[in-house]
Structure 1
Amino acid sequence: MGVVVDINDGQSSEKAPSIDKLMKLVENDIVKVNQHIIDNMQSPVALIPQLAGHLIAAGGKRLRPMLTLAAAQLCGYTGSRHIGLAACVEFIHTATLLHDDVVDESDLRRGQDSARAIWGNEASVLVGDFLFSRSFQLMTADGSLPVLKILSDASAIIAEGEVLQLMTAHDPKASEEDYLNVIKCKTAQLFAAASQIGAVVSDRSKEEEKALENFGMNLGIAFQLIDDYLDYSAKQADLGKAVGDDFRDCKVTLPIILAWSRGSEEEREFWLRTIEREEQNDDDLETAMEIMEKHNTLQDTVERARHYGSMAKDALGIFPDNEAKACLKELVDFCIYRAY
């Protein structure tokens, strides 16, 4: 296997960022959210709760719902609307995972058999559609047109991001701007919406609402860029994934886009063969990682994640210092330092 770039810049001597404090902050609310999820994924059609429950029970940190809960606390909210809306956010996320695994032909999700591997593509797509529909029922139950607009707009943008990714799939010539547009839509938009509605339910100012939207957007971009890096890191084994799954699936992510832009003609022909034409040999992953190391593309992917992480923390500057703000800022660090 090729050498993976060591991106640790001395942070290992410091205490690693954690989401433990954030989880503690929202622990009472997250119990209610989980129950809301269970109650609302029920259906007389037995396959629906069975398949949805498989994915929901597979783990995951409930990161996006926690953003809604923590943002509401940051804004001093004392009601209960954020519970149903956090569950709505998780349903949207779960629906996209079901659809993603079908599009990507993925047999694993969080280290376990994916729903499509067990029940097939048709069932996964249709249950994903059910969860999207259920999310809209939760939105309308909340009764707020601003909330409905934010979450419905996010759902549409996520779908647009999926299509945009299809248009640029297997194209190592895609620009960095094109790729950022994809991850803003596919990943960061739901982070942004989940954060923004915490201010909306709290009846806070448009300035604070926009600040939380910017926080979530930049956090989501940073999160995805670190995922791009991690696919070529030995730490993938800890996540139940093999190193280089993106490469084997011929997915174009930022490390490859940067390698293309900096590469020689010979290296570009390598990317055209392995990614565009999908003609891969057993030793191609090692070669790909050597090219990335040569052009410092993994390190630069992490540096870009740090940049967006800094902007996410800056967006919280208009809020007074409190426990929720400290937890959200540490969440940014946690998402980035998954790379170490």
Structure 2
Amino acid sequence: MSDVLFHTAGRAAHITLDRPRALNALTHDMVLRIDEALTAWEHDPSVETVVITGAGDRGLCAGGDIRAIHDDARDGDGTASAAFWRDEYRLDARIARYPKPYVAVMDGIVMGGGVGVSAHGRVRIVTERSRIAMPETGIGFVPDVGGTYLLALAPGELGTHLGLTGAGIGAGDALLCGLADHYVPSSALPGLVDDLAEAPVRDVIARHVQPPPDAALAAHRDWIDACYAADDVEEIVHRLLARGEPAAQEAAETLLTKSPTALKVTLAALRRARRLGPLERVLDQEYRVSRAALTAPDLVEGIRAQVIDKDRAPRWSPETLAEVTEADVERFFLPLGGHELGLEPGLAETTGTAAEVVW
């Protein structure tokens, strides 16, 4: 049985991620098959809309297959992981520029690679069950799949808070942070999906969208914006601890459990993403960072502690923020020579921009 299913219904083509026992985590083969389907549908005049959902009732997608990445980084030479990321990031860029409406049903858990195949889409739907996160710093990694691009665009320092802590957010906060567009109750999703077979996306959304729940992070903007505006992670932690607010204290304590190296590289990646411009340039940067992570100790150790052994006691190297030098951080951004991802902003000229999509 395939791990990703495709079918058409009326004017809509459907992608169903079908690994419910693995929370629909993406494999390299799934990425390649989705890309092939998008190619076929792009040139099929009978397909007017593409819809992505996840099998089961737990979520759209929990991310990439990090067990495979762990084994490749520990026992292999990283070639398989680099090839996976190369195709995954190219797929994310393609979704962002896809010339037909791409509707992502972000119901339940949406993390890591799941954000990549959904939050770059033209129409992003969340429900009361949505739980969205980029939790990479907890496994010694850095937000990727265009995550640093999306988080850098969030209001104020909300994206910095989410990227460093890996905190999960619900529908209201996803809308506030620009990771989603519409709120639809989960009970209405079957009707919405059925209607996409018969009517344009705009009409279907108008029929089913409901007022979203409140954004919990909105009440914390003062301390989030003030603390995370600092130039380094040590100062961010210091400011959080000095605020005297329980939520800020909790955020500081959370940061101190994450990989010190991953925290510093994530902050640098987010700051640089703000200056890079188009998604493609940010994905190029993320590819450099991801490949560098394969040769750093914290990625294997983080996945071991959180996923393999599940002892939740990673032994980070270096152990503290103070021990992570500027040179340690800078090596994650070094050019790859002939191994660069090589995405260019000109890609939008061949596939259409979001503004040009008629939905």
TM-score of the superposition, structure 1-length normalised? 0.27
Question: Which fold has the larger relative contact order, with Cα–Cα distance below 8 Å and residues 6 or more apart in sequence?
Answer: 1
Question: Which is strand-richer, 1 or 2?
Answer: 2
Q: Which has the higher helix share?
A: 1
